[in-house]
Every structure is written in C-alpha cells, then in structure tokens.
Amino acid sequence: MDEKEQPKKWPNTVAFQDEYTREFMASTKEVKEGYYLFKSKTGGYTMWFPKDAVVTKGLYEKHGRDFEALTIGWDNEEENLKYSIDLQYEQSEYMEDIETYLYILSSHASDYNGSYIEQEYNKKTIYFAKSQNDIERLFFGYIKSKDSHQGVLFIYSVMCWDDRKGCQVNVKEEEKTAKMLMKSIKFYD
C-alpha cells in the first residue's frame, strides 16, 4: 500500500482484514469484481488477487529483487472447497531455460509428465497444463516475460475442504479462473 493511501476503514474483505496480506495490496480499488491488485515485494510483477485470499505468512520467502516465493490460500466453505496458489518469481538469465523451468514446475505439480500448451499474451508467454489426482485438481503454468529475464511458476490447486463431505469441482470454471489469474500477471523491470 502507498503511504498516502491509508483509508479510515479497509474494505470488508479477507484480503484487507488480514494485516499481513494487506501489505501486498497495491490499492483498495478492485481491478475486477472480487479481485484486488497484488504487488510483489520484489517490485517485479503484479497479479490479480482474490478478495477472500490471504498470503500465508510462514510460506513467504524473498531474496533481494530477484526471487520471491509465496502461497496464497482461501476457502469456500459453502461449496466445501479449499484453494491455494503457489507462486515463485525469479529474475535471472536462467529464466530463459524454458525446459528446465517446465521440469521444475512439473515436479512441483504432482510429478506431472504431460505436455504444456504455449500461448502468447500481452508481452509474455504462458506455458499451461492441468492434472488431477484423487485429492486435488491442479492448473499450472510458467509465465515468462518476453521483454526481460523474468518468470513466474504458478500452481493453482482446488480440493475438498473436508474430505468426508465430498465436493464438486467445476473444472471448466476453475481452469478459466486459473488462466485469468495467469494472464493478469504483469512484469516490471
């Protein structure tokens, strides 16, 4: 948050009510209904951020301006769904080694061994894949800047919040949301 922007009352959303998460929000104005603008503490990228999500304090790691890893999580108790997004941002010449980063991403995404769909979008290339197992549905990608040595490994996970109750995951809708969030990533030098 900018020092100038200190509203008397924060928006009544999980993202702003959580003091730690609030540090990552660029503004109290929604960028799209239900989403605020997340700004990396490296200054390297922004992304849309779900209003009910929090940044998990114990799972945040940053090294200078070149590396940041974090987990974002939220629940939809009504639908008995639990969500998380794992993000890993890096800025280095190694980010150009697409095959290595897809291998790393695949190993983090339940040892995925399929192929990726490559899509060009607004000064970035997105390598997208999805998989599922008995526990969760995963939508993941490597988002690579075309203009710099920056990239983000992105894993969006959906699972039942309470296994005993069971849940229905709308795979098409969740894939659409995951892709929208990947496309919302904007890199800054």
CATH of the domain at 53: 2.60.120.1690
Mean pLDDT value of segment 150-171? 93
What pLDDT digit, counting tens, does each position of 84-96 carry? 999 999 999 999 9
Residue 23 in domain: yes
Domains: count for the chain:
1
What pLDDT score does 135 carry? Answer: 84
pLDDT band at 163 (very low <50, low <70, confident <90, very high): confident
174: Cβ–Cβ under 8 A, 6 or more apart, which residues? 137, 139, 156, 158
Any alpha helices (H) in the chain, and if so which ranges?
14-17, 19-22, 98-108, 171-184
CA distances from 15 to 48, 76, 104, 139 (A): 12, 14, 29, 22
Residue 5 in domain: no
Q: Which of 141, 129, 138 is nearest to 183 (CA)?
A: 141
Residue 8 in domain: no
Residue 9 in domain: no
What pLDDT digit, counting tens, does each position of 15-74 carry? 999 999 999 999 999 999 999 999 999 999 999 999 999 999 999 999 999 999 999 999
Look over the chain and give the mean of its residue pLDDT values, rounded to a whole number: 93
> CA angle at residue 152 from 161 to 64, to 5 degrees?
110
pLDDT band at 117 (very low <50, low <70, confident <90, very high): very high
Is the confidence at residue 5, as pLDDT, over 60? no
Residue 78 in domain: yes
How many CB atoms lie under 10 A from the CB of residue 63? 10
Q: Residue 68: beta bridge partners?
A: 62, 89
Lowest mean pLDDT among 20-29, 32-41, 129-138, 169-178: 129-138
pLDDT band at 8 (very low <50, low <70, confident <90, very high): low
Mean pLDDT value of segment 164-168? 87
Range of the domain at 46: 14-187
Residue 122 in domain: yes
Is the confidence at residue 140, as pLDDT, over 90? yes
How many CB atoms lie under 10 A from the CB of residue 22? 18
Residue 7 in domain: no
Mean pLDDT value of segment 101-120? 95
